[in-house]
Structure 1
Amino acid sequence: MQQVQEEDVRKKNRWKKEIWSWIKTVAIVLVMVSLVRAFLFTNYIVYGQSMMPTIHDGERIIVNKIGYEIGEPNRFDLVIFHATEDTDYIKRIIGIPGDHIFYENDTLYLNGESHDENFISNFRDEHESGKFTEDFSLEEVTGYDEVPKGYVFVLGDNRQNSLDSRHIGFVKIEDIVGKANLTYWPPKNFKFYHH
């Protein structure tokens, strides 16, 4: 009888150790996920059509929050930034500090050289009413002849339907939350962003 009770006590102790081990594992995983979410990556739901055809209304994206802590934003990156205290926008960086920008005949000119915008070429070609990107120069829309240090110039990919640097001015680099890395929802729209 004594031996049976000792065996029961050992089994209970093993179960307690096993349960405690699982609780610790789950707690560690939850802490790690929280840290990753808080400091490295986060997700957003995109509202509106300003980034079509690249990103559509209602898609969910993953944003890398650490990239610009260790590096600088690059031209054509898709970024989330604080537009107001309550609202974040997603747009594409067109100009980085020191860039001179103008558009003429639907062509982007950076520092005097034309640049292809492959990310909008199909969408632009389907556009039927006039120019996809109206002609403008940086001076006309911001009063500056080049993008100032500490700022970027951003545009939505859907140039006819985007509230961007043409209207709100430059975006402070310190207001950028992070770079959009991928769309994960809905699954049929899953894709990585290369710029």
Structure 2
Amino acid sequence: MTKQKSTLWEWIKAILIAVVLAWVIRQFFFAPILVDGVSMSPTLHDRDRMIVNKIGYHIGEPKRFDIIVFQATEDKDYIKRVIGLPGDQVEYRNDTLYINGKPYKEPYLDKEKKQLSEGPLTYDFKLEEITGKTTVPKGQLFVLGDNRRFSKDSRTIGTISMDQVIGKANMLYWPLKDARIVK
């Protein structure tokens, strides 16, 4: 009877340790996220599943064009691309992104631009028209969805605080046929 109790206790300990480790990893290091909607198409698709690296931005800062997950509301997280960093001037003119007056290529949008016959991906705008500020404020980010026509992003919600950022989403694991590191 003692050997049976001992074996049962070992199993219980192993399961508890596994549960605690899984919770710690998910809470502080990595977490799964479900892409909900088409705002990041063609890069990401509705119902794609990704891993969010939560620890990376505790060590470093977001970089331009990173795909991030942030808490948009109390019960809703958004996934978008970082376009403007603190101190940047952001403008979109003639279907071209300008940061600090310099045009930037967005190769992840090339396929979408070729398929569109009825005009640009998005309307022209300047950061100041959207936020009332000439540059992205300190501690804030300007984010856009890749599907510029159908994305609720900084053009409608304004800049986002670094405190809202959950992490960097760069590993797509489902559907399995599309599994990859997203750049």
Give the TM-score range, shorter chain.
over 0.9
1:112 matched to 2:101? The reply is yes
SS at match of 2:73: coil
Deviations 1:116-144 (A, max 9, x none): 11111112221221011321111111111
Identity within the alignment, %: 50
1:98 matched to 2:87? The reply is yes
Listed as ranges, the matches of 1:1-195 within 5 Å are 13=3, 17-194=6-183
In 1, Cα distance between equivalents of 2:5 and 2:72: 51
Give the TM-score taking structure 2 as reference length: 0.92
Structure 2: gaps spanning 5 or more residues: none
Structure 1: gaps spanning 5 or more residues: 1-8
In 1, Cα distance between equivalents of 2:157 and 2:5: 60
One-letter amino acid of the structure 2 residue matched with residue 32 of structure 1: L
Give the TM-score taking structure 1 as reference length: 0.87
In 2, Cα distance between equivalents of 1:16 and 1:141: 66
One-letter amino acid of the structure 2 residue matched with residue 27 of structure 1: L
Tell which structure's C-alpha radius of gyration is larger: 1
One-letter amino acid of the structure 1 residue matched with residue 182 of structure 2: Y
In 1, Cα distance between equivalents of 2:13 and 2:150: 50
Between Structure 1 and Structure 2, which shows a larger proportion of helix residues?
Answer: 1
Deviations 1:34-72 (A, max 9, x none): 110111111111111111011111111111111112211
RMSD across aligned positions (CA): 1.6
